[in-house]
Structure 1
Amino acid sequence: MVFWEGYVSDEVMGTFAPIVVYWLYAGFYELLPSLDKYRLHTKEDEVKNLVPFGAVVKGVLLQQLVQAIVALFLLTITSNTPEATVQPSIPKQVFQIIIAMFVMDTWQYFVHRYMHQNKFLYRHIHSQHHRLVVPYAIGALYNHPLEGLLLDTVGGAISFLASGMTSRTAVIFFCFAVVKTVDDHCGLWLPGNIFHLLFQNNTAYHDIHHQLQGLKYNYSQPFFPIWDILLGTYMPFNLVKRPEGGFEARPAKD
């Protein structure tokens, strides 16, 4: 039994919980007091961003609207199957989540990489995300609507279907994926951050991708750098402490 049982369906929870979690977690980062000694960029660097904060919020809300429509439809039609009515054991759910993580990483790596390699797609679609030269938490899902649909929404749907998870397990998986994505874009290297301890693909790793010299590297998101390592697009980073405070993620590629 879960806390929402009897109040909302698993399908509704799986649709809207990730959206609520996104704004709560990203809002937490935005409302933190000044943390200059943990920033990967100085406050002055933010002038490099080519899109105002208000436009970023609108872009994220638009993407989440599309995601909600697709998710509610997908979760509803799959909930009518016999397999979806029985919640599997915890070990099986963990296995399904791991499968979903691998599928999502695979989908996002190849779509993301192709959007960089295809000049038309980069110029007219993916470059919108790179208007945030200095990433921040609320901008984690700031994309062109078509990219949001193809990369995140379709990628999430394929991960859900390929893993065979139920709608209830999907609540856990999608909320976790959202938190990880927001954390990767927060621009902070906080001590004790569990994502930095457990994942090589983290805030600094993705920050390299937003730098000019790392634009053709570190495509992997949101979990593991497996495909970058296997296919030669892996660029490790060094964290260098700035004299005035904070850190800088620098490419460590030979």
Structure 2
Amino acid sequence: MSPTAPTLVQWVAPSPAVAYWAASAFYNAIDALGLFAQHRIRPSDEECKKNLATRAAVFRHMVIYHAVATSFLLVAGEMFPPPVEKQGGAGTLEWFYFVLEKLFGWQAESSMAYCCSWALRAAYLVARQFLALVILDTWVFWCHYFEHQVPWLYRNIHSVHLQLYTPFPFGALYNHWAESIFVDGMGAMVASVVIRLTGAEQIAFFSLVTIKTVEDHAPYELPWSPFVMFARWTGAGVVYHNVHHQSWGLKTNFEIYFTWWDRWMNSTYRGTRTLQDRQGPVV
């Protein structure tokens, strides 16, 4: 008997890990090859000077983390499968055909109905991803903010991640286990459940936010990256988060995807230090 092909739900589970290591491999490769030096945002020799966790320790941590996280998502996906989009239900291509026919009398076979239905369908899917991102960003900001405001949380939990004063890509999710569960994991799941993302949408959402997180810990700001382009609108790009990892920026720039909460709480970095400043070890 041939093995059963993985279902869409089963593909959700490994999608964050695949996205994480693929994005990390890309940035590590261009760093090792010395490519795009003009887009490097900080001196290369700063990377090993200040970090309190070694690359080897971070690598081991992340292998274990993704093994556990993928196993958990596999079990959770079987116990609580994501909703399935019903044929002809709201937001489907057939639904948009129906709406356009009722509003304008267009037949589904017409080129105008075809193009407009696909455009509306694409906008609908993008809007759902955006709303999920807003929820995740809000969750992460307030968790992150209080991790810095409450000394016990910072000292015992969040300080693990900030051992990487000069972060690198595969250390993007190097966290205390409690932060991995309650901040990153629960934030993504809450956003997914509230918006009722389907399996395919979860794969897209988990993969995209994972790649964004990896890029935010990379030493490059590549102008053609879609996340860099997105950050030109939001303000929360690679430099924005790298500043937070510096000893002089730790109490600022808490957001990951947008900046409105930081601006509302007056926690945006307004100093004059830059990532290009060469510094001695943190004491």
1:172-221, CA deviations, whole angstroms, 9 ceiling, x for partnerless residues? 11111111111111121223333222211111000111112211111002
Q: Which residue of 1 aligns with 2:43?
A: 42
Q: Within the alignment, does 1:72 sit opposite 2:106 as a pair?
A: no
Q: In the TM superposition, what are the counterparts of 1:42-61 in structure 2 within 5 Å?
A: 42-46=43-47, 47-61=49-63
In structure 2, the residue matched to 1:86 is 86
Q: Name the stretch that deviates more: 66-75 or 139-148.
A: 66-75
Show CA shifts across 1:127-152 (max 9, x none).
11111111111111111111111111
Distance in 1 separating the partners of 2:135 and 2:72? 18
Give the Cα–Cα distance (whole angstroms) in 2 for the partners of residues 70 and 160 of structure 1. Answer: 16
- Tell me whether 1:230 sits opposite 2:230 in the alignment: no
Is the 1:237–1:249 Cα contact (8 Å) retained in structure 2? no
Distance in 2 separating the partners of 1:192 and 1:92: 25
Deviation of the 1:237 alpha carbon: 7.9
- Contact map agreement 1:70 1:153 (CA 8 A) in 2: no
Aligned-residue identity in percent = 28
Q: Is the 8 A contact 1:205 1:236 kept in 2?
A: no
Is 1:211 aligned to residue 246 of structure 2? yes
State the alpha-carbon separation in 1 of the partners of residues 86 and 270 from structure 2.
43
Moved more, 18-27 or 39-48: 39-48
TM-score using structure 1 length: 0.84
Summarize the Cα distance change of 1:102–1:207 in structure 2 as closer, same or farther, 3 Å threshold.
Answer: same
- Partners of 1:227 and 1:179 lie apart in 2 by 22
On the 8 A contact 2:43/2:276 being kept in 1, the answer is no
Distance 2:125 2:19 in 1: 21
Partner residue of 2:16?
Answer: 18
- Secondary structure of 1:214's aligned partner: coil
> Pairwise mapping of residues 81-120 of structure 1 onto structure 2 (< 5 A)?
83-86=83-86, 88-89=91-92, 90=121, 91-120=123-152
Query: After the TM superposition, which residues 49-198 of structure 1 pair with which residues of structure 2 at under 5 Å, given as runs?
Result: 49-79=51-81, 83-86=83-86, 88-89=91-92, 90=121, 91-198=123-230
Where 1:170 maps in the other structure, the secondary structure is: helix
Who is 2:101 aligned against? none
Gaps of 5+ in 1: 1-5, 241-246
| Contact 2:223-2:229 at 8 Å conserved across structures | no
After superposing the two structures, state which structure 1 stretch, 182-191 or 192-201, moved more: 192-201
RMSD, matched Cα? 2.4
